[in-house]
Amino acid sequence: MKKTNYLKELSLSAEVVKRGLVNKKADVEKIQSWLCLQERQHRGIGTMTGIDGDFGTATELAVKNYQRFLGLPADGVVTTSLFSKLTLNLKKSFESVEKKTNLRDTISEVAHNHLKGFPFELVIKQQTNCGPWVRSYMGGNEGANWLWCMGFVQAVL
């Protein structure tokens, strides 16, 4: 079974998400999740923020810090282009695999490719096993009942 739920994690419903707009809560939570994951991968870049679906001053600052980290103008606006940069690890993990000469080496390559993407779970609203990586591995599901290690193994296989 090929995992395709990751595709939902690679897009937003709006072209632009920023403070002061009427944003969809799900889009903002996705952005906040990815900002937290970036901080986890690149400690100290200043992108850790609460995951509450509100694009307030803390989220705007985290977006600006991520833009500075990338060497971009820091305006605090999440465009589709910026969101693509936030989610690039997930996209590469699922789509950038070189087929090897045998099945064992191919499976190993896929697993290493996913691990290079820094797949981590988040705690959202005091619920473990949450976030874009978990949803990608678990068919869109997340939460304490969705132990994503099995979903990871299924994705690799």
The whole-model pTM stands at: 0.92
Residue identified by tokens 């949803």 is: 135
Coil, helix or strand at residue 129: strand
The residue among 116, 118, 119, 114 whose CA lies nearest residue 130 is 119
- The percentage of residues in the chain with a pLDDT greater than 70, rounded to a whole number, is 99
Residue 127: phi, psi to the nearest 5?
A: -115, 125
- CATH number for the region 5-86 comes to 1.10.101.10
pLDDT value of position 1: 64
The residue among 138, 29, 4, 28 whose CA lies nearest residue 77 is 28
Instruction: Locate the domains of the chain by residue range.
Output: 5-86, 88-156
Q: What is the mean pLDDT of residues 32-38?
A: 97
Bridge partner residues of 78 (DSSP):
17
pLDDT value of position 82: 98
Structure confidence by residue, pLDDT tens digits, 5-30: 899 999 999 999 999 999 999 999 99
CB 76 within 8 Å of CB 53: no
Highest-pLDDT range among 94-98, 135-139, 150-154: 135-139
Residue 155's pLDDT band, with cuts at 50, 70 and 90, is confident
- Lowest-confidence segment of 37-41, 95-99, 125-129 by average pLDDT: 95-99
Helical H segments across the chain, by residue range: 25-41, 57-70, 80-86, 88-95, 103-116, 132-137, 148-156
Structure confidence by residue, pLDDT tens digits, 43-75: 999 999 999 999 999 999 999 999 999 999 999
Judged against a pLDDT cut of 90, whether residue 151 lies above it is answered with: no
User: Which tokens in the block code for residue 41?
Assistant: 């991968």
